[in-house]
Structure formats: structure tokens, C-alpha cells
Amino acid sequence: MREFFVEADGGSRGNPGPAGYGAVVGDAATGETLAEAAEYIGVATNNVAEYRGLLAGLRTAHALDPTARVHVRMDSKLVVEQMSGRWKIKHPDMKPLAAEARTVFPADQVTYEWIPRDRNKHADRLANEAMDAGAKGEQWSADTSRAALGTRPAPTEPPLPEPSGPPGDAAAGAAKARAALATGRDTGPARPLAAPVEDDVEAEAARAAEADAARAAEAEAARAAEVEVARAAEAGAARAAEVRAARAGEADVARAAQAETARPTEAEVARAAEAGAARAAEVDAARTDAAGAARTDVADAARTGVASPAGQAGAQTAGLRAARTVATPAPSTPSTPGWSAAPDLGAPATFVLLRHGETPLTPQKRFSGSGGTDPSLSDVGREQARRVATTLARRGTIQAVVASPLARTRETAGIVAARLGLRVTIDEGLRETDFGAWEGLTFGEVRERHPDDLNAWLADPEARPTGGGESFTETATRVEAARRRLVAAYAGRTVLLVTHVTPIKTFVRLALGAPPEALFRMELSAASLSAVAYYADGNASVRLFNDTSHLRT
């Protein structure tokens, strides 16, 4: 009996929006592609397009050999779990498609497997070709398809793509981060490891939602995505440093360049600035939790860029200064190269982002947003706040304190502000996401009581929790408005923002220009410190993330 594999995907540019699917049928023994199918299907959702791709793949395989065994591989967790019979299908548009897919082959001839997106690139390219053709008023044609030109991914993890733009090109770096995190938002909803909810529910989600094999594969994809997000952050920081260095005529970079030519070139300035960014990332990595190990690898790779000895030494010195402090306001006349703000940009508005200390719900891994019981800090949480206060007082850089209105953040902010001799200002935009009827429940309890709502919420940032909670898209809109308001109010100053998991991850995601699914690739501990600087030209630089070194002293 012959054995085929079917890889299928679908996407919607708008969800719902213009949609298309792609499917590949291959020989399971040799890996040879036997047939392709793709079609623009008009306006539909991501999930409907994925089911249409599955159906097309099965029909194509049936036409080749109706007696064959078929192994379906898709990056849609929803479709794989529903077709395997482990999840129920309630959406009226998907029920008939699933039922029709089950009639193509006898049930004992078809198996299903979830795979990461980077192993489903062929079908994804076909789906995008179909949507591109539809945008031109045409249908996909196999004669003009280029989807099969890429090499099929090997069983082992493929090498990470390098940024395609010039050194410090933030746009290119962000594009590569998006490619690593997902093939594209318009090719289907993200399949997160877990939800970035209050009190670290994401760890529980990863353990409960994924089977062992899927968990292992997705963990590999997450590590690759994290490296690319870090690389995008460094690229953005390097680009900002390059612009400031070019405008200010940094002395160290100029002296290094003059060793070879009369004037420094833009490429040399970029390389020197990039070296400083890499060194800063390396030192930050050494001070953070387990996530620091991945960041160190990124810093080592970034240091392979060539820089002249004098320029590299100056840039690394500046990088070390940036890493030794959460944020130091730039002097009116810059005295250090690399990270100091140029006179025409002025000092940045720097947000030091502090997640509140532990509450009684934190170790229980329960949803705790802005719509629940509003718990205060536990004794452990108060001690964490005191340690943060000691560290920030020693650094002496905080000029104002702003907090979320919830009790745990107000209490954390009060402990720190008292030590710093500052008062606390409340901003409603910094509150945590409202998790609706899930407040106070564990992830496992939510899965038992509201499985369909939970699946939709994990797959789509616009989905709300049961009972009218707040979507991550709505949270991002609120946080972005607060960011604009606070940057204007505290221009050139360093401000401590005491807030929660989702707002802090959103500040970082927006600064990196990363897509919504980046939220699921970040770990954030209680009482951890992060920092983002915002410049007058619109650039942002992530300077620190999830630093908990002050809790280990």
C-alpha cells in the first residue's frame, strides 16, 4: 500500500478577509512532491481557509491513489486536534468542511500530526501565492508557481536567517523576527505555547495544552524565535546608535575610521555601534535568568561583525556602561560614545518597567487580571518590592513613579517610592488585562469549563475570554495610548512604571515592532525589571528585559 504525506495551510488577510489555501501531496518514502493545489477562496477566516486546504490536499491524494495511507501534517493546532477527535467542532462554518474531509478517505487510512510553521513552508507559500493572485483578480496557476523552489526543511532545525539589510537595519531585523515567530499574521492565527497572563499562567498552559511530541517541537521553534526577536532588538538599537553617532560625530568612531580613510564611512559607524549593542546585550544576558543564555548566543554572533580596534574598544566600553545601569539620563553634552543621545535628539524618555511582587495567587498560577478580586501582595511580594527599592535607590536614576491602579501594583510602587522619596501617580492605562469569567481560575480549570472559548483565545489576539473580558488587541490599544501619553509627559526623564505581565510585554513588543504572537515568546518574573528608551525621532531601544538579579542578592 502506498503512503502519502499531505501538508496543508490556509490564510486570511484580515481574518476574515481575502483568503486562500495551499496543499502539497508527497511520497512518504522518498519525500518527493507529487502534486500541489492552491486556490483563492474570497473572503473567509483563517480557520476556514485551513480546512479548505486540508480538504484540497486529501482530494488530491485520493485522485492519485484512493487506497493509499495518508499522513496529514499541518501547523494549525485547532484543525489537527479537531480532526483527531480530541477537540469538539462548534463553529458552523467549519463543521461541514470537517465532515466532508472525513469522507474522502476511510478513517483508518488517515493520521494527523501538528508541525511547527517552519516545517510547513511549502504549503504556506502556495496559500500566499493564491492570495496574491486573488488580489490581482486572478486564480492561482501551477505553471507560474514558485512555491516549490525552496529546499524542503530537513528533520533537524534549519539555520536561522541573517538580517538582509545593512548593519543596524531595524526594519530588516524586525522582518526576520516575524519570519521566525510565524510565517505571517495573514497566513493564519498564531499557535502560542501558552497565554501571557498574570501570575505566569503561560507555563501551566504549555504543560496542559500540548502533547509531549508537539511540546518538544514547538519549544525548538520558540527558542529560534526568541533568538530572532533579540536579534531584531539589537538591530533596532544599533540603528538608533548609528543615527546618533553619525549626527554627533562620535570621536572614537571617527578616530578608528581615520586609520584607513580621511572620513568615517556610514558602514564603519554602523559596525562600531553594532559592536557596542552586542556587548551591552551580552552583559545584560549574564545578569538575567535562564533567558540570558539565549541572549548570550545572540551577542556572540553579533560580535563577529568587523570593526577597527580603536572603534570597537570605544563601542564596547559604551555598551558596558549601558548594561551596568537600568537607565542613566544622558548629559546635556554627550561625553561617551555609542549610547549617549546626540544633542539634536535630546535625552530619551526612559521607562523602567517593574512587574509587581508576588500575590497569594502567583504561586498557584491563577488568572489574576483587572476584573477579579484585586489581591494585595503576599509577604514574599513585599520583600521583593523592598529589594527592588534598594537596587533602584543605589542606582539613583528614577525621577518619577507611575503605577497601575490595582492593589498589588500600588503597594509595590508605594514601597519603592517611599525609599526613593517620590510620590506615586496612578495611570489607568497600565492595568492588567481583564480575564472575565476566568479570573481566579487555573488554566486547567478554564480548559475544563470553557474549552472552546479558551482555544479561540489562544489562537487569536482579538478573541476575548469568557464573560466579556478584554482581548490582547484591546489591551495593546490601551497600552499604546498610555505609552504616547507618558512619553509626552516625561520627555527626557527616567520613569518607573509599576505594572503587570501583559502591559510590560506589550511595551517591549511594540518597541521591537514585533507581531502579537511575540507575547507568547517572553517570560516575565514577579518583581522583574525591564527598560525601554524612547527618542524624539520616534525610535525606541529595549535596554533590559526580565532582570531579577536584585532578588538573588
- Choose among 134, 232, 137, 247: nearest CA to 179: 232
**Cα 149–177–302 angle (5° rounding)?**
105
DSSP for 220-237 reads HHHHHHHHHHHHHHHHHH
100 noted as active-site residue:
no
Q: What confidence tens digit (pLDDT) does each residue in 523-549 have?
A: 999 999 999 999 988 899 999 999 999
Q: For residue 377, is it within any domain?
A: yes
Higher pLDDT, 298 or 124: 124
- Residue 114: pLDDT over 60: yes
Q: For residue 209, is it within any domain?
A: no
Helices assigned H by DSSP within 90-136: 95-104, 121-135
- Which three-class secondary structure string do you get for 328-342? CCCCCCCCCCCCCCC
**pLDDT of res. 533:** 95
Q: For residue 162, is it within any domain?
A: no
Q: What confidence tens digit (pLDDT) does each residue in 24-51 have?
A: 999 988 889 999 999 999 988 999 999 9
Q: What confidence tens digit (pLDDT) does each residue in 344-360 have?
A: 578 899 999 999 999 99
pLDDT band at 264 (very low <50, low <70, confident <90, very high): very low
**pLDDT of res. 249:** 44
Q: What confidence tens digit (pLDDT) does each residue in 430-443 have?
A: 999 999 899 989 98
CATH number at residue 89: 3.30.420.10
- Residue 413: pLDDT over 90: yes
Strand order from edge to edge, sheet including 3-12: 33-44, 17-27, 3-12, 69-74, 110-114
Contact 273, 242 (CB under 8 A): yes
Omega of the bond prior to 360 within 30 degrees of 0, cis? no
Q: What confidence tens digit (pLDDT) does each residue in 270-297 have?
A: 444 454 444 444 434 434 443 343 333 3
pLDDT (average), residues 66-80 = 94
- Kindly list the distances between the CA atom of residue 310 and the CA atoms of 251, 316, 444, 459, in Å, as whole numbers in the listed order: 11, 10, 57, 50
d(CA 253, CA 414): 44
- Residue 479: pLDDT over 50: yes
d(CA 190, CA 91): 18
Structural domain ending residue among the three candidates 143, 173, 196 = 143
> Which three cell numbers mark 526?
514577579
**Of 50, 81, 234, 356, which is the active-site residue?**
356
Q: For residue 309, is it within any domain?
A: no
Contacts of 387 (CB under 8 A, 6+ apart): 527, 550, 551, 553
Q: For residue 446, is it within any domain?
A: yes
Three-state SS for 464? coil
Q: For residue 507, is it within any domain?
A: yes
Q: For residue 52, is it within any domain?
A: yes
523 noted as active-site residue:
no
Is 552 annotated for ligand binding?
no
Strands 529-534 and 69-74: unpaired
CATH number at residue 369: 3.40.50.1240
**Of 432, 439, 470, 523, which is the active-site residue?**
432
Give how many domains the chain has, as a whole number: 2
- Residue 199: pLDDT over 70: no
**pLDDT of res. 119:** 92
- Choose among 103, 147, 91: nearest CA to 121: 147
Structural domain ending residue among the three candidates 101, 127, 143 = 143
**Cα 432–351–502 angle (5° rounding)?**
20
Structural domain ending residue among the three candidates 99, 123, 143 = 143
- Residue 480: pLDDT over 60: yes
**pLDDT of res. 552:** 86
Domain around 482: 349-551
Q: For residue 105, is it within any domain?
A: yes
Contact 122, 19 (CB under 8 A): no
- Residue 67: pLDDT over 70: yes
**Angle between the N-to-C axes of helices 501-512 and 212-248, in degrees from 0 to 180, rounded to the nearest 10:** 60
